[in-house]
Amino acid sequence: MSKPNTTALPELAYNVAQSRELDRLAGASFELPGDELMARAGRAAAALVRQRYPLAQRIAVVCGTGNNGGDGYVVARLLAEARRDVYLYAPDQALPAHGEAAHACAAWREGGGQMSIFSGELAGFDLVIDALFGIGLTRPPLGAHASLIEAMNAQTAPVLALDVPSGVDADTGSCPGVAVCAEVTLSFIGLKQGLLTGEAPGLVGEVIVDDLDLPKVLFACVPAAARVLRPQDLGPWLPRRKRSAHKGHYGHVLVVGGDEGYGGAVRLASEAAARIGAGLVSVATRAAHVQPILSARPELMVRAVAGPGDLESMLDKATVIVVGPGLGQSAWS
């Protein structure tokens, strides 16, 4: 799975506590009950399925017993009403026992929807929707829950994860156990910071955020945990260069490293320094690496050093010194 496309994401990302506070304020301050928020989440997911997977006829929806599972029950009902063939799976006999998730489950069953207990594999589907665990999971999935996640990953249809791929910690992006590998993750209300960190970038696929049409003022009430750094945000931090400027005006980086067998590390570090705008880049390395580095990057000034004495004149000229890439632990190092 590719990393999330941060150019299309909102600027702000929220942790789990902040996400829950947004939910609470939506009801307390803007008179949006939990059932309405869940209905909006289900409608958003169903709309995404129609847009992204218009030919997906056989759809499996994997539901847990929490609010994430409630979102799954809503989207299952809406897709069934749209004449998709929907098969709802649960890890065991347990049903949502209270709150909005229980209401969504009841609406699914009252409409004729059936629930199947997972028995070992998911096969023959055009799309799988993951609504097993939501943002509250911090422990490893166990038993039938873990088996369901493994089955979602083993089958070949694309997986759409609701809010967060099951098994991923929405605060840190860590995976204490097995986790769903999604093609698309639809995050409700706000972007969860854990979708961008830890192991999550390899599991979330494309991240899409739907604010469920909540008032913009709501988001001003809850400070976000993080800001997403996008390519366009970097421009103001880069000083404008005069047309008459030359390389001597923009610093001199000295990179020291590249013991025997590690010439690639010092070359990559030096190339990176040049790419980010250093005016001059010098490399102090083993004699064997001088010619290969110069052949690949003639803009670098590469010198063989046999000991500390060879470095003195280079140190005096440097404005930034990088020590370590491929340095090794030999006597030369």
Q: Are residues 105 and 130 in the same domain?
A: yes
Q: Are residues 137 and 284 in the same domain?
A: no
Q: Are residues 214 and 289 in the same domain?
A: no
CATH assignment of the domain containing 258: 3.40.50
Q: Is 297 part of any domain?
A: yes
Q: Is 107 part of any domain?
A: yes
Q: Are residues 182 and 312 in the same domain?
A: no
Q: Is 238 part of any domain?
A: no
Pairing assessment for the beta strands 301-304 and 127-131 based on DSSP bridges: unpaired
Q: Is 148 part of any domain?
A: yes
Range of the domain at 46: 6-233
Helix (H, G, I), strand (E, B) or coil at 188: strand
Q: Are residues 287 and 223 in the same domain?
A: no
Q: Are residues 298 and 149 in the same domain?
A: no
CATH assignment of the domain containing 114: 3.40.50.10260
Of the three residues 180, 205, 233, the one that is the final residue of a domain is 233
Taking the C-alpha atoms of residue 303 and residue 108, their distance in angstroms, rounded to an integer, is 72
Q: Are residues 134 and 256 in the same domain?
A: no
CB atoms within 10 A of CB 128: 27
Of the three residues 233, 263, 283, the one that is the final residue of a domain is 233
Q: What is the pLDDT of residue 1?
A: 42
Q: Are residues 144 and 33 in the same domain?
A: yes
Taking the C-alpha atoms of residue 281 and residue 259, their distance in angstroms, rounded to an integer, is 19
Taking the C-alpha atoms of residue 175 and residue 263, their distance in angstroms, rounded to an integer, is 35
Q: Are residues 140 and 104 in the same domain?
A: yes
Q: Are residues 24 and 156 in the same domain?
A: yes
Q: Is 1 part of any domain?
A: no
Q: Tokens representing 156?
A: 């070949």
Taking the C-alpha atoms of residue 182 and residue 52, their distance in angstroms, rounded to an integer, is 14
Q: Tokens representing 124?
A: 């023959």
Q: What is the pLDDT of residue 21?
A: 95
Helix (H, G, I), strand (E, B) or coil at 313: helix
Taking the C-alpha atoms of residue 67 and residue 65, their distance in angstroms, rounded to an integer, is 7
Our count of domains for the chain comes to 2
Helix (H, G, I), strand (E, B) or coil at 44: helix
Q: Are residues 218 and 253 in the same domain?
A: no
Of the three residues 207, 233, 259, the one that is the final residue of a domain is 233
Q: b/e string for 49-63 if b means 16 or more Cβ within 10 A?
A: beebbeebeebbbbb
Q: Is 90 part of any domain?
A: yes
Q: Residue for token digits 């499996």?
A: 60
Q: Are residues 300 and 185 in the same domain?
A: no
CA distances to 117, 172, 191, 207, 218 from 34, in Å: 27, 26, 19, 24, 15
Q: Which residues of the chain have pLDDT under 50?
A: 1-2, 6
Helix (H, G, I), strand (E, B) or coil at 317: helix
